[in-house]
Structure 1
Amino acid sequence: MSLFSSRTSRRPRIVPALDDADLARALRQLNKRGAGSGRAPEVTLVATLLEEAGDDWDRRSHRASVLAEATAGTGLASAWLSREPDNADALVFHSWVGVMRGLRDRRAEDAAQLVNQCHRAAEISPADPTPWVVLLGLARVERYGQNDVNAIWREATGRDRWHREAYVQMLAYLSPEEGGSSASVLDFIDVVRTRIPANAPCAAIEIAAAVRQYQGLLAQGGVRAMTAGQLWEGGQIAAALEQASGLWAKPGFFQHAAAQADLNVLAYALCAAGRAADAHHVFQVLQGTVTPWPWNVDGPAVQRFEQHQAKAERGRQGGIGGS
Structure 2
Amino acid sequence: MITTVVGNYPKIPDLPAPGKWRSAVEKFQKGQIDEAALRRVEDEVTVEAIRDQLEAGVDLITDGQIRWEDAQTHFARRLRGFHINGLQRYFDTNVYFREPVAEGEVGWAEPITVAEYTFARAHSTKPVKAVVTGPLTLGTLSRNTFYPTLREFVLALARALNGELRALAAAGAEVIQVDEPALCRHKQDYAVFADAMGVLTAGVRATLVLATYFGDLGGVYPQVLSLPFDIIGMDFVAGHRNWDVLSGAPFTKTLMFGILDARNTRVETPEEIVAAVRRISSTVPPERLQVAPSAGLEFLPHGVARRKLRALVEGVRTASEALKGARA
User: Which interval holds the TM-score relative to the shorter structure?
Assistant: 0.3 to 0.5
The TM-score with structure 1 as length reference comes to 0.42
Structure with a larger share of its residues in strand: 2
